[in-house]
Amino acid sequence: MIGFLTSAMDRKEKIMIYYMDSDNNVTQRIIRVVDIDEERVLAYCYYRKQVRSFKLNNILSCGPVKRSA
């Protein structure tokens, strides 16, 4: 998963993540990764329209954004 996040950051691509928040709710977010460290991903969240920090341990899955036809 780190490899995918790093390559998305390098290419400045939007990606989709499934994330467990602090209340144990699973949310789906479209983000653009800005920075990655050992514990967190700093990313622009298109849902919240601001830069947010996501704990790596709480990212359940990630993948490319499906493009509409």
Domains of the chain in start order, with CATH, are 2-64 (2.30.30.100)
Q: How far, in Å, CA of 69 to CA of 66, rounded?
A: 9
Q: Are 17 and 51 spatial neighbours (Cβ–Cβ below 8 Å)?
A: no
Residue 69 confidence (pLDDT): 54
Q: Kind of pairing, strands 26-36 and 14-20?
A: antiparallel
pTM equals 0.87
Residue 34 confidence (pLDDT): 97
Residues 6+ apart with CB under 8 A from 51: 34, 42, 43, 44, 45
Written as tens digits, the pLDDT of the chain (69 aa) is 899 999 999 999 999 999 998 899 999 999 999 999 999 999 999 999 999 999 999 999 999 998 765
